[in-house]
Amino acid sequence: MGKFPPNHYQQDIIDWVLNGEGNAVVNALAGTGKTSTLELVASTYTGKMLFLAFNNHIAAELNEKPELQYYLKKKDEGGAATLKVMTVNSLGNMAMQEAIRNRDELPYRKDGYLKPNKLLSILGRIIRVYCDTKHEKVTDDMVWAMQRDLKIACDKARSKYVRDDEDTIQRVIDEDGLCQFNMPSDNGENEIMFPILPWAKIGEEALETSMAMYEDRGEYDFVEQLYIPVVKNLPFPSWLAWYSSFIGVDEAQDLSKLQLRVIKKLIGMKLPAKFGVKKPTRFLFVGDSNQAIYAFAGADCHSVENIKRQFSPKELPLNICYRCAKKIIKLAQQDVPAIEAAPNAPEGEVYTISNEEIAKLIQPRRYGYCKKK
């Protein structure tokens, strides 16, 4: 068990882990102890557990957490760890690597088949062909600006809508105001005239080329390591089935629709026949809709609501904040009524200050709650 006894919200989560069925979603408000709750769950669940972190930084932090080392290093009778921590993207990457290993025509590559800048290079080549055809004079900086915006549009079409057609790319361009290069300067004139190109068509052509490169050479980029396993239904490595009975998912509010599709692929995993039928897959999603900040990168701003619709989870709150003083929590309750101060939290102080005073009073590593009136 952890360093401190569980609060009543954490105890409800533990009780669900031990005695509940199906899936659950924990609405973990800011500062409510998600990592310590994970430790409690890891110490409670008796089988193998997979925990999906949002990014490499969080996964690395969890893998180094002193309080989780026992569970990360604890081995079962077969010598396998009982807790594994990885990212959703690494989950997709395992499916990609498994598919490549099964393709005899692809040689071993020391540097692997993941090519982060693959789509940018393809877009650059196609854009220059279009410009040459139209006799447009463009600089390297102009091509880079066009590459950048189109890559954002292509990546978000796949992450946000799990599609890569021209109409979907155009939808993202319109939603995000991308490829709007010829904006007037302060004097009402264009400083640089960019060519007017069929942006969405170029994006679709680039994605088709990128997919063909995967088919021919096995190369893929960061978004494709999620997209290709979904659209081609690539299997995960068989050993992952041992960890697919209980799965924790962190920062659920920032999942994209594509990431959620990858996670759902874990449901169908089966053990080798000689080991019998494994327990049904159970998911424990942890997140807070108030902290959703990755919509700009293709995350689904309605991720938690979509999880509720697709997984029919039991909803469990985690409301006691251990990060802020009581008076700060009282102010925060005006926007988030459910948040509670820890019983032993200091009283703290709330000040109303002018904009000019902020720079003088806010110090590094100090927390403040700001509310715009």
pLDDT at 91: 94
Q: 159 and 258 in contact (C-beta within 8 Å)?
A: yes
**Is residue 260 scored above 90 in pLDDT?**
yes
Could you give the C-alpha distances from 340 to 6, 32, 346, in angstroms and in order? Answer: 15, 9, 13
Q: Which residue did the predictor score with more confidence, 195 or 78?
A: 195
pLDDT at 172: 95
Mean pLDDT of 161-168: 96
Could you give the C-alpha distances from 318 to 33, 80, 85, 354, in angstroms and in order? Answer: 8, 31, 22, 34
**Is residue 277 scored above 80 in pLDDT?**
no
Q: Closest by alpha carbon to 89, among 241, 282, 220?
A: 220
**Is residue 181 scored above 50 in pLDDT?**
yes
Cα gap 68→81, rounded to integer Å: 12
pLDDT at 184: 56
Mean pLDDT of 320-333: 93
Please tell me the least confidently modeled range out of 54-63, 70-79, 112-121: 70-79
Q: 258 phi and psi, to 5 degrees? A: -65, -45
Whole-number percent of the chain with pLDDT over 70: 87
Could you give the C-alpha distances from 20 to 23, 75, 283, in angstroms and in order? Answer: 9, 25, 11
129-142 pLDDT tens trace = 999 888 788 889 88
- Kindly report the number of other CB atoms within 10 A of residue 105's CB atom: 7
Residues 6 or more apart in contact with residue 159 via CB below 8 angstroms:
223, 226, 227, 256, 257, 258, 259, 297, 298, 299
Q: Which residue did the predictor score with more confidence, 229 or 359?
A: 229
For the chain, the helix, strand and coil percentages under 3-state DSSP, each to the nearest 5 = 50, 10, 40
In the CATH scheme, what is the code of domain 8-98+233-318? 3.40.50.300
**Is residue 52 scored above 60 in pLDDT?**
yes
Mean pLDDT of 223-231: 96
Q: Which residue did the predictor score with more confidence, 291 or 145?
A: 145
pLDDT at 298: 65
**Is residue 118 scored above 50 in pLDDT?**
yes
Q: 285 phi and psi, to 5 degrees? A: -90, 135
Choose the most confident range, by mean pLDDT, from 29-38, 173-182, 217-226. 217-226
Q: 29 and 341 in contact (C-beta within 8 Å)?
A: no
pLDDT at 280: 84
**Is residue 364 scored above 70 in pLDDT?**
no
pLDDT at 1: 47
Task: Quickly list DSSP for 16-51.
Answer: HHHH--S-EEEEE-TTS-HHHHHHHHHHH--S-EEE
Please tell me the least confidently modeled range out of 159-163, 169-173, 249-253: 249-253
Could you tell me the pTM of the whole model? 0.85
pLDDT at 20: 92
